[in-house]
């Protein structure tokens, strides 16, 4: 089995667990490919010397693999998506910190989880992404997002106005601090923090969710993901901020943003007994009540 490993720096509390993970992969005879900067971190700061046959730096030199292990939090998982892109390599999210929604394998689960994955005891679930198109290449070839597109004012000054059109029909002009266009996966991320609904990852929908709207009658709207959304922004300072997951760019007002469903999806691993519902209960304390 050919396995790529991508990660970010983590605290000393995860050093021994990372060693366990790599040992299990080596003992299983996996052919490892490790991200170059993560390999340097493991060698210089963690004191590990993982056996691997090759290092990679980005999407362009990532070898064909059966799986990619993302070690970190949800931010690391989102970065791992930019490594895989449309290569259709399933991603395994290992959580090296506390709360991880996408990186859902906790350190305590590692030995059993790795054994199950190596044995092929998992299913692959496809996650939809959104795509952003503009007349200027502000995000280059990273013009997609697994969680959301966020359009926001740049500073603490006045609100911005975002004119939204669905399939070329006028929807609304949002007077707000910003607007979030979220995928179903991103419904438990930024969109949730501003009052958006939770959607099942298999939902073929986007959420259009204003950030601190001036008109309190404006609420989040769920639309089919095969709709095309166009946004035009007015900003008093002449510029606004657009972000795709963790990547951001400052744009001039009047620039049109076109949002649609990306033409590829990202495969992720789901283990036996683990599902979206168990994640809701364990990570978001769904239905938790001390009386129970």
CA-to-CA separations, 212 to 19, 96, 188, in angstroms, rounded: 45, 33, 18
Out of 27, 64, 66, 74, pick the active-site residue.
74
Distance CA 81, CA 59 (A): 10
DSSP sequence for 46-62: I------SEEE-SGGGP
As given in the structure block, the two tokens for residue 267 are 């495969």
Distance CA 37, CA 83 (A): 13
Q: By the 8 A CB rule, do 130 and 181 touch?
A: yes
74 catalytically annotated: yes
Residues β-bridged to residue 35: 56
Give the CA-trace dihedral at 172, 176, 180, 181, to 10 degrees. Answer: 10
DSSP structural state of residue 64 = P
**Strands 67-72 and 91-95, bridge-based pairing:** parallel
CA-to-CA separations, 268 to 68, 92, 117, 124, in angstroms, rounded: 9, 6, 12, 6
Orientation of helix 110-118 relative to helix 15-27, angle to 10°: 20
Active site residues: 74
């Amino acid at each position: 089995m050919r396995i790529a490993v991508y990660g970010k720096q983590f605290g000393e509390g995860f050093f021994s667990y990372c060693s366990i993970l790599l040992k299990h992969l080596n003992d299983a005879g996996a052919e490892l490919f490790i991200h170059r900067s993560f390999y340097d971190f493991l060698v210089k700061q963690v004191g590990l010397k993982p056996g691997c046959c090759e290092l990679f730096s980005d999407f362009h030199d990532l070898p064909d693999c059966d799986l990619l292990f993302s070690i970190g939090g949800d931010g690391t998982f989102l970065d791992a998506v930019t490594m895989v892109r449309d290569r259709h390599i399933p991603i395994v999210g290992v959580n090296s910190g506390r709360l991880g929604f996408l990186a859902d394998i906790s350190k305590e689960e590692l030995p059993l989880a790795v054994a199950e994955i190596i044995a092929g005891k998992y299913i692959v679930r496809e996650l939809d992404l959104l795509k952003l198109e503009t007349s200027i290449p502000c995000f280059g070839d990273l013009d997609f997002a697994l969680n959301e597109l966020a359009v926001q004012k740049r500073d603490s000054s006045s609100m911005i106005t975002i004119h939204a059109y669905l399939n070329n029909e006028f929807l609304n002009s949002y007077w707000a601090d910003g607007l979030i266009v979220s995928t179903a996966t991103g419904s438990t991320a930024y969109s949730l923090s501003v009052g958006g609904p939770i959607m099942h990852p298999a939902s073929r929908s986007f959420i259009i969710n204003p950030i601190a709207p001036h008109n309190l009658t404006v609420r989040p709207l769920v639309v089919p993901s095969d709709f095309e959304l166009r946004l035009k922004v007015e900003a008093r300072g002449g510029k606004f901020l657009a972000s795709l997951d963790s990547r951001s760019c400052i744009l001039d007002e009047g620039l049109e943003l076109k949002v649609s469903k990306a033409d590829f999806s990202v495969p992720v691993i789901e283990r036996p007994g683990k599902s979206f519902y168990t994640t809701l209960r364990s990570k978001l304390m769904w239905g938790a009540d001390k009386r129970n």
